[in-house]
A and B are shown apart, each in its own frame.
Chain A
Amino acid sequence: MENFRRGKSLLFSAILFSTMIFFQCSGLCSIGMAAEPGAAVEKIPAARQINDCALVVKLLKKQNHRLSRELGQIKREIAALRVAVHGVTPSKIFGGIGYILGLFGVAAMVAARKKDKEPASNSSDCGETAEERD
């Protein structure tokens, strides 16, 4: 029975100790906390604390690197969009040439129709076709 009680108190203190360590570790490794007076804090091994710090710094650096890479990608995309909206792109150049050729094509068609019609109306008046006159 005595043994059982001692074991129980040991177990309790172990749980308490591990909970303290857990809270110590889960917070972002703060130096101020480590410097605080208190038996529980001083019991944490210094090597482990340094390890945690290094880990957190490493993770932060990794995250920073990833974010800056994504930001760079977004900046490049914005620049590409700006060029696409305002700048000179091959599709716009060919589009413009298409407009010009299309407009002159319509003009040529209208001119050709006019040319066709004129001799026809004349020929109906005079009773001869354009070919005969030529």
Chain B
Amino acid sequence: MHISDGVLPTNVAVASYIVTFGLAAWSTKKVKPEELSKIAVVTSSFFVASLFHVPLGPTSVHLLMGGLVGALLGPAAFISITLGIFLQSILFQFGGLTAVGANSLMMGVPALICAGLFQLIRGRTLLSNTIAGAVVGVLGTTISAIFLALLLTTAGEDFVGVAKLALTAHVPVIIIEGFVSAFVISFLFRVRPELLGGFRS
């Protein structure tokens, strides 16, 4: 799920760059020094996860991890995703350099939404945490697909048509993402529960 160079009109690309800069600055301010190592590891995982394409039927899918990054990092998820997308763009030409702003918004804003939602619904038990993980995994990808449709609407596409297409294409990813996020969150809850919370302070 990447927008390529030249798809979006210039003003939308510039505007999304500006919003991305603003959100990235806010996100950087929210980073706690003791969390830097965790953010680095999650960012690396995010950067690598979308490189492994798994063939599935006629197409191939790859993890997006937006929801999981949000759940693990809280507000710092945005700077993490922006950095990952910037590196993917310059190293692998995933999306273009002019579309980094739009791509960061597309992946980062759902991650922020998921971050808030996860803290809201996670509860205290293993089961509730696992379900919350699955929910943010599913929602992260779904909201990203809707954002993709929104951004493409500015390029003159029909919103409902693109949204339908993007969501249908990502149904396998959404399902896999839900399972992976649920698994990771339940594992971390059992092994290291302190990694999952405490962003509100």
Contact = CB atoms under 8 A, between A and B. Distances in A.
Contact of B36 (A95, A97, A104): A104
Contacts of A86: 92-93
B36 A96 contact: no
Listed residue (A99, A103, A104) with the most chain B CB atoms within 10 angstroms of its CB: A104
Contact of A99 (B33, B36, B51, B87): B87
A105 B33 CA distance: 11
B83 A103 contact: yes
Contact of B33 (A92, A95, A97, A112): A112
Interface residues of B, number: 18
Contact of A104 (B40, B87, B93): B40
Interface string B14-56: 0000000000000000010100110110011001100100000
A93 interface: yes
B94 to A, nearest CB: 9
A92 B92 contact: yes
Given A97-B48, A99-B87, A87 B92 contact: yes
A107 to B, nearest CB: 6
A89 to B, nearest CB: 9
B142 interface: no
B63 to A, nearest CB: 14
B36 A111 contact: yes
B74 interface: no
Nearest to A95: B91
Interface in B61-120: 83-84, 87-88, 91-93
Nearest to A97: B44
Nearest to B32: A111
Contacts of B40: 100-101, 103-105
A130 to B, nearest CB: 15
B48 A93 contact: yes
A96 B33 contact: no
B36 A107 contact: yes
Contacts of A107: 31, 36
Contact of B37 (A87, A96, A104, A114): A104
A112 B37 CA distance: 12
A96 B87 contact: yes
Nearest to B43: A100
A104 B91 contact: no
Listed residue (B44, B83, B84, B88) with the most chain A CB atoms within 10 angstroms of its CB: B44
Given A96-B44, A100-B47, 17 more contacts: A86-B93, A87-B92, A88-B51, A93-B51, A96-B87, A99-B87, A100-B40, A100-B83, A100-B87, A103-B83, A104-B40, A104-B43, A105-B40, A107-B31, A108-B37, A111-B33, A114-B33
Interface of A: 86-88, 92-93, 95-97, 99-101, 103-105, 107-108, 111-112, 114-115
In the complex, the 6 A-B pairs of residues with the closest C-beta atoms, listed nearest first: A104-B40, A111-B33, A108-B36, A96-B87, A97-B44, A92-B91
